[in-house]
Amino acid sequence: MPRDAAVAALSWRVEETCLNAWPGLREIILDGWLLRFSEGLSRRANSANPLSHRAAASTIVIAGGAMLYRRHHLPPIFRVPTILPDAVDARLAEAGFAAEGETCVLYRPLARLDATADARVRLRARPDISWFAAMHALQGHAETQAQTYRRIVRRIAIPAAFALLEDEGRPAALAYGVIHNGLLCYESVITDQAKRRRGHGRRVVAALAGWGKAHGAAGACLQVAADNAPALALYDRVGLSRELYRYHYRRTPPGGRL
């Protein structure tokens, strides 16, 4: 397979894995796009996502998608990976959708990552009450957000591990990872702001890499905001430094007409 074709195939494989790692509460397929509805908790779980390079910004998708999002009292948002033809982004811009949320998608073979086992990092196949409580506290979730987050995470249908590292008896860093089609995907990686620069995040990421290797994953991927310098530095330290592609969102301005 030519290199460009191999990179494209890997990129769409990563797309599929990341979608399964953070499922929507409600989803429909419309003309090659997966529309997700999750009570507004995050853009990824409340946006239209292309399912292949053939996805086009057709009138059916733009007008029909906008109608469906408004029916759910959500703003119409499209997630646009750079692995789509440029015409898709241009058509959405022409239709009045403003760009926001530039995000990097990172990938690395697991053999090149720090995958250090760590007895202090607790790994569980399912999130328990203490894991959720720690995640909500560090994310600053309101109760309604916490409820939605729990519902989304409980919908994960592929193998997963939920990591928690404590420092002085309190949660210091958390994350979870899932495995799909030979890839480990990291999600919800967070460190207590008061405990940063102590290696807690790195230990959690490395422990999940070890779990992924032990369960047959050959590569690792994640999505991170392009302006999140601390997170990018963390992933670089564990070896997750290759940017595979990017994506951004296109959102209808408040009160905007299509």
How far apart (Å, rounded) are the C-alpha atoms in residues 169 and 140? 19
- Token code pair at residue 47: 């946006």
| CA distances to 52, 85, 89, 131, 141 from 97, in Å | 21, 17, 9, 37, 28
Q: What integer pLDDT is reported at residue 3 of this predicted model?
A: 75
109-245, what's its fold? Answer: Aminopeptidase (3.40.630)
Adjacent-strand bridge partners of 176:
162, 187
| 102-120 average pLDDT score | 95
* Residue ranges per structural domain of the chain: 3-103+247-251, 109-245
pLDDT per position as a tens digit, 207-229: 999 999 999 999 999 999 999 99
Q: What integer pLDDT is reported at residue 156 of this predicted model?
A: 98
Q: Which residues contact 244 (CB under 8 A, 6 or more apart)?
A: 7, 10, 11, 14, 105, 106, 107, 221
pTM summary value: 0.95
Residue 28 above 60 pLDDT?
yes
How far apart (Å, rounded) are the C-alpha atoms in residues 7 and 11? 6
Q: What integer pLDDT is reported at residue 45 of this predicted model?
A: 98
pLDDT band at 2 (very low <50, low <70, confident <90, very high): low
Comparing C-alpha atoms, which of 124, 33, 42 is closest to residue 81? 33
| 92-118 average pLDDT score | 95
pLDDT band at 194 (very low <50, low <70, confident <90, very high): confident
**Beta-carbon-side half-sphere exposure of residue 210 (alpha carbons within 13 Å):** 16
